[in-house]
Structure 1
Amino acid sequence: MTSAPDQETDVALPAPVARSSVSTDIALISTFAAFIAVCAVLPGIPTPSGVPITLQTFGVILAGLVLGWRRGGLTALLYVTLGLAGLPIFAEGTGGLVVLSKPSVGYLLAFPFAAALAGAFAGAALRRTSWRYPLLVAAGLGASFLTIHPAGIAGLMARLGLSAGEALAIDVVYWPGDVVKNLAAAAVAVAVFKAFPDMLRSRR
């Protein structure tokens, strides 16, 4: 006699959870997009190429590691879209379509792909309980070197008229900092998952 009410209760539960999930997604995506913006506008290290060394990639990779491939990618996409729309949230407080003419264009446009790929790689790493930190580091580095750096080199070639070898020589300057930022992003991700286990279960 009690089975029918129980079934009705089971069917009714998913709806509010779904609504809560959407609002949570929006809040997390917006929060991490704002964090990437903060990382970008903090004073960077100038380089001869005109592409400063900033904390942007730290925020982008962290979003992917913590939020997952879909939400991480949407986070970086939101950040890039708002910046191109004119908000001064790119490196050195710039914004607008004018940034598409700058040498940094390749790095910038690769951010959504980097965050999504980092999230996808991290998904496999987080299914393991051992070696989680080094696997997250590898996930971030893999995403960076498969997306941000190749796109950055292409952007340098297109905007500065460089050969592939010349652009690669410029890009190499960013590698040590990228390694450090990925080490830090993985450490922060591990700390977040330890403090908020629900974040680990709700990645997507």
Structure 2
Amino acid sequence: MHNNTEKHIAYVALFAAFIAALGLVPKLTLGFGVPITAQTLGIMLCGTILGAKRGAQAVLLFLLLVAIGLPLLAGGNGGLGVFFSVSGGFLLSWPIAAFIIGWIVEKCHTGSLALVAGLASVIGGIIVVYIFGIVGMSIVLKKNLWECAIMASIFLPGDIIKAIIAGLLTSSIAKARPSSVLSRQQPPQL
């Protein structure tokens, strides 16, 4: 049991670092201030590989490090202010998105893992993230939800590609190292 706990803690820390590393991929900031980054792929993979609880924990650890000022977001941003920026709603959605993605992958054992993980990434990593992000944009930009939804739609093609990548990567890892895909194992007893 003790060894399993250490393994799970290591995975949570590793995936928090993975999200940070994805922040090194150059971002593309749009005219309304929300950047296109690779970090949402990390959020999707936290859920598909680590599962609901550990995936959310990895994202919360990452966001805690951002909140204390580490420049881990794409473009080297960090600090509490980012949570009140035009991107704040998106950031706040990330742990919930990882949890929902992981929960779906944990519960749905029918069909191919690539398809389940891809669809879970669409539900949690796109729909949930967009709901929070659009509301956050609406508050910060003082625009209505419809205007913000139209602005956010520019992210959709890239996010669909990330969901497909998350599904395929999760499936490949499961084939190569089944024990590494914790979302397909017994949930942790925390």
TM-score (norm 2): 0.93
Q: Which amino acid aligns with 1:57?
A: T
Pairing of 1:105-116 with structure 2 (within 5 A): 105-116=88-99
Larger radius of gyration: 1
Kindly indicate whether the alpha-carbon contact (under 8 Å) linking 2:12 and 2:57 is maintained by their aligned counterparts in 1.
Answer: yes
Aligned residue pairs, count:
185
Pairing of 1:146-185 with structure 2 (within 5 A): 146-185=127-166
Give 1:203 deviation, angstroms.
5.6
- Distance in 2 (CA, whole Å) between partners of 1:44 and 1:28 is 26
Kindly indicate whether the alpha-carbon contact (under 8 Å) linking 2:41 and 2:162 is maintained by their aligned counterparts in 1.
Answer: yes
What SS does the corresponding residue of 2:27 show, helix, strand or coil?
coil
Give 1:22 deviation, angstroms.
1.0
CA RMSD of superposed structures (Å): 1.3
- Distance in 2 (CA, whole Å) between partners of 1:40 and 1:49 is 19
Match of 2:59 among 73, 76, 91: 76
Ranges of 4+ aligned residues in structure 1 off by more than 2 Å: 199-204
What SS does the corresponding residue of 2:75 show, helix, strand or coil?
helix
- Distance in 2 (CA, whole Å) between partners of 1:135 and 1:26 is 25
- Distance in 1 (CA, whole Å) between partners of 2:12 and 2:107 is 21
Give 1:56 deviation, angstroms.
1.0
Match of 1:65 among 39, 48, 63: 48
More helix by percentage: 1
Identity, in percent, stands at 31
Match of 2:113 among 132, 140, 145: 132
Q: Which amino acid aligns with 1:101?
A: F
- Distance in 2 (CA, whole Å) between partners of 1:45 and 1:146 is 21
- Aligned match of 1:6: none
- Aligned match of 1:97: 80
Give 1:135 deviation, angstroms.
1.9
- Distance in 2 (CA, whole Å) between partners of 1:41 and 1:162 is 31
Kindly indicate whether the alpha-carbon contact (under 8 Å) linking 1:37 and 1:79 is maintained by their aligned counterparts in 2.
Answer: yes
TM-score (norm 1): 0.87
Match of 2:34 among 41, 45, 51: 51
> Any stretches of 5+ residues in structure 1 without a counterpart?
1-17
- Distance in 1 (CA, whole Å) between partners of 2:88 and 2:58 is 18
> Any stretches of 5+ residues in structure 2 without a counterpart?
none
- Distance in 2 (CA, whole Å) between partners of 1:141 and 1:195 is 24
